[in-house]
Amino acid sequence: MKSSILYAGAALACALGLSACGGGDGDLPLSVTVNGGVTKDGLVLVNKSNGDEVAVPANSAGVSFPKYLSTDDEFNIDVKTLPTNVTGCTFTNNKARANYYTIYTLPPTVTCTIKTHDLVVNVTGLTGSGLVLVNGADKQPVAAKGGADVPVPMAKVPEDGPYGITILSQPDTQNCVVRNGSGTMSATGPSSAPVVECGPKP
């Protein structure tokens, strides 16, 4: 509703003969707000309407395209390349005609989704009951399988993010220790597979 009013206003301004409206170098900076998910270099955005490109550095809050737009220029922002740890990015307000409203009031935003990977803890020698493993806020109770190895799938972990397995509660009749409990999730999985070894109480 509002944009159509401004659009009409802009058109009126043009009709009144304001020279600034006629293409060429404008004075509207086309910026994109980064809402999250860019933890690594590699994201390049393109304005498909004029071929202008901008690289988004890791942890950036926002970027601006080098070329300025004139009132009423179309813009259509899309992804040219993705960081290696991102599955995809979504936009809002990325396709419009440039005016005060589309540039300043509701500027384009981009949100990227980081890839996640399985984190499986191998529990060995467990015969008791009550073992609970946590990775921060992720809590997983573990049921024994008569001493056989139990693979425990934890919640998936974002690529390049840390994980740290600790024991919230020990089994009633045993004592367990964590090996290789913390590390960084890589594209191929945890840096070293976490293991929980259970044995007699000391």
Positions touching other proteins (CB under 8 A) are: 1-2, 134-139, 155, 157-158, 161-168, 181-185
Distance CA 117, CA 159 (A): 7
Q: Could you give the residue ranges of the DSSP H alpha helices within the chain?
A: 2-15, 100
CB of 54 to other proteins, least distance (A): 29
Calculate the dihedral angle through the C-alpha atoms of 96, 99, 100, 102, rounding to the nearest 10 degrees.
0
Considering the complex, state which of residue 26 and residue 181 has its C-beta at the smaller distance from other proteins: 181
- Pick from 153, 162, 199, 200: which is nearest to 181 by CA? 162
Q: For the sheet containing 174-179, what is the strand order?
A: 150-158, 116-124, 195-200, 174-179
Q: How far is the CB of 139 from other proteins (least distance, A)?
A: 5
CB of 177 to other proteins, least distance (A): 12
Q: Which is nearer to other proteins, 81 or 166 (CB)?
A: 166
Cβ closest to other proteins, residue 138 vs residue 197: 138
**Calpha distance 20→97 (Å, rounded):** 15
CB nearer other proteins, residue 49 or residue 140:
140
The answer for residues whose C-beta is within 8 angstroms of residue 89's C-beta and 6 or more apart is 37, 43, 79, 82, 110, 111, 112, 113
- Residue 63 or 97 with smaller CB distance to other proteins: 97
- Which is nearer to other proteins, 47 or 174 (by Cβ)? 174
Q: How far is the CB of 174 from other proteins (least distance, A)?
A: 17
**Which residues, 6+ apart, have CB-to-CB distance to 82 below 8 Å?**
42, 43, 88, 89, 112
Minimum CB separation from other proteins for residue 36, in Å?
Answer: 14
Closest separation in Å from C-beta 183 to other proteins: 7
